[in-house]
Amino acid sequence: MSKTVLITGASRGIGAETARRFAREGYAVGVNYCSSQARAEELVRELEAMGVSAKAYGADVSDRAQVDRMVGDFLSDFGHMDVLVCNAGIARQELFTDVTEAQWRQMLGINLDGVFHCCQAALPDMIRRKSGRVITLSSMWGQVGASCEVAYSAAKAGVIGLTKALAKEVGPSGITVNCVAPGVIETEMNGLLDQETKDALAEETPLERMGTPADVAEAIWFLASQGGSFFTGQVLAPNGGFII
């Protein structure tokens, strides 16, 4: 029986690269998307060409009913869930005094509530089997905060707190819960940055480059692999030394 992974926000960027990384290890892959159905289905075809089972699941992770349906469909299709990767997220830059309540709710709804919803939906199967890996995605700004990204920083800090507390709660059930907190990564989320800004961020990074989705996918894979079996409640930070 193949091992299985459900990855939220997997139609592009870090999520898509993570899907490819797990597929290379023979995992059956659930590809969650919110609005990018065509890209998710294209990725599914790519993964199937690698010789693994894969399926796309549309769900807005901020909506509990949609998450429950997605997890239920995944378990019906694959029988069990070995790994949950909570990657779905949004980012936005604005002055704190300009953030509307709707924007605040949306940021926390996707970035933090989404992790809550997915973990609550997936854990009963893992607890029943006394086995599972949960990997959440935060950000270096969740660790230290960023000017003009207060809502994002708050949501991502919440993910770290959720991760650490949940690890203590489900550890006795044989489940690990860890967090990956990337630095500046070359993704569509950062695609709005001009080249001058990107160059400045690379220069500020001790390794003198921006990270790639593959850099983050390798960190996620490590926590899901046998090598990560004694890690729980930890924050792994592929950030090139940007923060230490």
Catalytic sites, residue numbers: 152
CA–CA distance, 143 with 172 (Å, rounded to integer): 27
CA 18 – CA 146 distance, rounded (Å): 26
Give the helix ranges, DSSP H, for 79-212. 101-108, 114-129, 140-144, 150-170, 195-204
- 145/73 Cα distance (integer angstroms): 37
- Decide the pairing of beta strands 83-86 and 4-7: parallel
Q: Which of 137, 164, 96 is nearest to 239 (CA)?
A: 137
**Contact (Cβ atoms closer than 8 angstroms) between residue 175 and residue 132:** yes
The number of residues making up the chain comes to 244
What is the residue whose two structure tokens read 């230490």? 244
Q: Which two tokens stand for residue 53?
A: 């089972």
- Residue 51 is which amino acid? G
